[in-house]
Amino acid sequence: GLSADFKEAIAFAVLAYWRQQGICGNLPSVTGARQAVLLGEIDRESRD
């Protein structure tokens, strides 16, 4: 099977992709949230 670290990396990559594409990443039917929302923020600030 796949290692837990690999599964975690894939999960975070999927969440990052969804955020970048504007796809809501939470599951209101599972979490009880009132609505679907984008997860995370994209930091566009330049880093030196």
How do residues 8-17 score in pLDDT, each as one tens digit? Answer: 999 999 999 9
> Can you tell me the distance from the alpha carbon of 7 to that of 34, in angstroms, rounded to the nearest whole number?
28
pLDDT at 9: 98
Residue 48 in this model has a pLDDT that exceeds 80:
no
Residue 6 in this model has a pLDDT that exceeds 80:
yes
pTM for the full predicted model:
0.76
pLDDT at 26: 93
Q: Where are the domains of the chain?
A: 1-39
Average pLDDT along the chain: 93
Q: Kindly indicate the confidence band of residue 39, based on its pLDDT and cuts at 50, 70 and 90.
A: very high
